[in-house]
Structure 1
Amino acid sequence: MSRLSRFLAPAAVLLVAVASARADDMPVIKVEMRDGVILPAVIEVPANTRFKLEISNTGQSPVEFESTELKREKALAAGSTSAIVFRTLDAGTYQVFDDFHPEAKATLVAK
């Protein structure tokens, strides 16, 4: 093993450990979608902070978490869970809805 390889291998391990620790420190906000209902109706998230929105479809039909303002969408089959990571979000109020169930609406509030 060359001197450079001996130096780079530990550095690579350190970078992976730092990236992993960063992901673990990220706030996780949970949202439930169920056949035309989004819970909670007001989703509070941290402004100007990286966070993960974990979405679970506990219903019997597919759902699609969508926000035109945020330019984000995530379709989920019945019984599945997925996530959207937001790098940062300005303080404010954003409307979200279920594209498959137009009556399902919620408000995402970043503060």
Structure 2
Amino acid sequence: MNFRLAGRTAAFPRSLVFVSAAALGLVVAYQSVPPANASDEMEIEISIKDHKFEPSALKLPVGKRVKISVKNLDPSAEEFESKDLGFEKVIAGNSDAIIRLKPLEAGTYIFYGEYHMDTALGHIVAE
């Protein structure tokens, strides 16, 4: 591709044309995605007390984003983890953390406290 600049003809690199077109495509695609609303997100609270989750069983709707607030009421840290859901988060004693989940498909998802796996166990059923 050629272009004129100050009376001179110069070659325009094809790779720059491709990168520019790809970048424009990403901008257009990003702008066409509607922004997420807080109302689209379901909020759940879980507490950790005596190295146990309360509640330890949750029922959540399929296809809805979820914000989980986890409050560790114990003085020691706990690692809140789920291989099924793809997260792990260390929560210091007497503090809290937020975990955000993508919309779930139907199924059962296990979560646990890695530091106290004998007592800190729970699950989510998405239906």
Query: What TM-score bracket applies, with the shorter chain setting the length?
Result: 0.7 to 0.9
Residue 82 (1) aligns with residue 97 (2): yes
The Cα shift of 1:75 comes to: 0.9
Alignment partners' CA distance in 2, 1:70 and 1:25: 19
Structure with higher Rg: it is 2
TM-score between the two structures when normalised by the length of structure 1: 0.75
Check whether the contact 2:68–2:99 (CA below 8 A) recurs between aligned residues.
yes
Q: Which residue of structure 2 lines up, in the alignment, with residue 30 of structure 1?
A: 45
Alignment partners' CA distance in 2, 1:50 and 1:42: 18
Residue 73 (1) aligns with residue 76 (2): no
The Cα shift of 1:45 comes to: 2.0
Residue 109 (1) aligns with residue 109 (2): no
* RMSD between superposed Cα atoms in Å: 1.9
Q: Which residue of structure 2 lines up, in the alignment, with residue 63 of structure 1?
A: 78
Runs of 4+ displaced beyond 3 Å: none
Gapped runs of 5+ residues in structure 1? 1-17
Alignment partners' CA distance in 1, 2:89 and 2:61: 20
Gapped runs of 5+ residues in structure 2? 1-33
Equivalent of residue 97 in structure 1, options 94, 98, 112: 112
Counterpart of 2:111, as a letter, is: V
TM-score between the two structures when normalised by the length of structure 2: 0.66
Residue 40 (1) aligns with residue 55 (2): yes
